[in-house]
Amino acid sequence: MAFNRIIDGIDASILDILQYNARTTQSELAKAVGLAPSAILERLRKLESRGIIKDYVALIDPHVVERGMLAFVAVRSTDMGPEMPSAYELSRIPEVLEVHHVAGDDCFFLKVRARDAEHLGQILRLQIGATPTVTSTRTTIVLETVKEDPRISIPKELTLKDAATSRD
């Protein structure tokens, strides 16, 4: 399914605005895209019900909540087939922010936030390593983050090209 068949230019503009400030009011959205607030509410409800908007979140400074250490953990597992029980078990560990099923020698790639090296070691031994199907892990500790952004780039040509035609 092509991107522009799922959403139109106005939807793309709304999504782009909300990714940068999820607290943008319906009135502000309406003004930005040239629609009535009631039309914005309807579009938001449709975007939510179709699963295009998955959630609204506040991004927290990890250092403030004592999760300043960032690590990526490559995990090998004996999982076979589409169920991937270890992926779901790993995803239940609170410090594991992301679990990706990957191609290559490793099975999963995890993004983990910990207090410090000792805490990370405990997570690796007592939680990740204790998962029955996990056979090995390889950890990379992040020394400095240059860019970390959860927002998805929405093609500007979509928002510009389709915005005028989607008002009709």
The pLDDT tens digits for 123-165 are: 999 999 999 999 999 999 999 999 999 999 987 666 554 444 5
HSE at residue 69, side-chain half, CA atoms within 13 A, is 15
* Whole-number Å distance between alpha carbons of 81 and 77: 12
The whole-number pLDDT of residue 5 equals: 59
The answer to whether the pTM exceeds 0.85 is no
Residues 124, 74, single domain; the answer is yes
Residues 37, 100, single domain; the answer is no
Quote the tokens at residue 19: 């990714």
The structural domain count of the chain equals 2
Residues 73, 137, single domain; the answer is yes
pLDDT digits (tens, 9 = 90+) for 1-46: 444 457 898 999 999 999 999 999 999 999 999 999 999 999 999 9
